[in-house]
Amino acid sequence: MIVVRKSDLGYMLSDGNEEVLLHFSQSEKEHNINDKVNVFIYADKKERPTATEIKPTATINDAGFARVCDVIPNVGVFVNINTPKDVLVSKDNLPYDQELWPQVDDLLFIRLKIKKETLIGKPLNRFDIISLHKAVNYEEQEHVDAHVCKITESGISLITNDMMYVFVPETQLRGKYRLGQEVNVVITKALEEEYYGTLNQHKELLMDTDKEIILEYMRNHNNSMKLTAKSSSEEVFKVLKMSRKAFKRAYGGLYKEQIIDFDDYKTFIVEK
């Protein structure tokens, strides 16, 4: 757009048909009349078209990460795209189970779209991410930072900071995850356009972590819990968000170390 005049608030820009305000706070430098500027247009709080020279993290054409700044139950989440006005990601584009919704400061990978003359954010799916054609090569067993972008019964989809798609099967998960959550995934298999990964660590490290999860729960519940080695998978997962196999491995370790003991109804920490 072209700078046509200067006002008390900022620069008035024109594309030959419409004028919009570029506020001084949204200008990256001083401008003169007839300067050509590249801006992003959004609607301000009064729904007036407004310009900014600050590059947004996501646009209609370019996908990018946006940080969650507010969660409104039954409505959706608002994300910051580096503009003064936050953008809504509707509940229609989020999991039905609101416990799987992102929390404040989680990152969603979105592209903007216009709905009823309003900019909204829409998370990308697997095919959208793969279509970005990012040329990044990960080695097997490489640790990569990523964020959850989809949750299904068969596993979770991740997008890495390099915008690569990684799928983690349900058998390779640890506990429950939410959309936008940051994780560190280990690459297990490379395909032509995507990767498979795991969120499980080595069994020895996992057992130490699981031991601490069990002990921490017991410390917060009068040094005991109503779980034993005979508890069902459903009971274990409900209390500890852990598989029965992992629970029994850590439970057996704690028992051998004489840290815990049990009776027919509960497990308790051994007093020393």
Residue 158's alpha-carbon distances to 18, 139, 183, in angstroms, are: 41, 17, 9
Q: 29, 52, 75: which is the final residue of a domain?
A: 52
Q: 27, 52, 77: which is the final residue of a domain?
A: 52
Residue 272's alpha-carbon distances to 85, 224, 263, in angstroms, are: 58, 15, 18
**Where residue 226 sits, what CATH number does that domain have?**
1.10.10.10
**Where residue 68 sits, what CATH number does that domain have?**
2.40.50.140
129 located within any domain: no
Instruction: Render each residue's pLDDT in the chain as its tens digit; 272 residues.
Output: 999 999 889 999 999 889 999 999 999 999 999 999 999 998 888 888 899 999 999 999 999 999 999 999 999 999 999 988 899 999 999 999 999 999 999 999 999 998 887 889 999 998 999 888 777 888 888 889 999 999 998 899 999 999 999 999 888 887 789 999 999 998 888 887 789 988 876 555 566 778 888 999 999 999 999 999 999 988 998 888 877 888 888 899 899 999 999 998 899 999 86
Residue 66's alpha-carbon distances to 5, 45, 47, in angstroms, are: 33, 19, 21
pLDDT of residue 97: 93
Residues 208 and 264 in one domain: yes
- What is the C-alpha separation between 99 and 241, in angstroms, rounded? 14
Q: Report the C-alpha dihedral over residues 139, 141, 147, 152, rounded to 10 degrees.
A: 110
Q: What are the pLDDT digits (tens) for 122-149?
A: 999 989 998 887 778 888 888 899 999 9
Those residues with Cβ within 8 angstroms of residue 175's Cβ, 6 or more apart along the chain or in another chain: 241, 242
DSSP state string for 169-223: EGGG--S---TT-EEEEEEEEE-SS-EEEE----HHHHHHHHHHHHHHHHHTTTT
Residue the block writes with tokens 């459903």: 234
130 located within any domain: no
Residues 210 and 193 in one domain: no
CA angle 214–216–220, rounded 5-degree value: 115
CA angle 271–244–237, rounded 5-degree value: 90
88 located within any domain: yes
Running DSSP on this structure, what letter comes out for residue 34? T
Q: How many domains, the chain?
A: 4
- What is the C-alpha separation between 195 and 28, in angstroms, rounded? 39
- Is 168:156 a contact under the CB 8 Å cutoff? yes
Q: 198, 231, 253: which is the final residue of a domain?
A: 198
58 located within any domain: no
Q: What are the pLDDT digits (tens) for 55-66?
A: 999 999 999 999
Residues 161 and 184 in one domain: yes
- Is 166:187 a contact under the CB 8 Å cutoff? yes
Structural domain for 170, as ranges: 135-198
Residues 190 and 215 in one domain: no
128 located within any domain: no
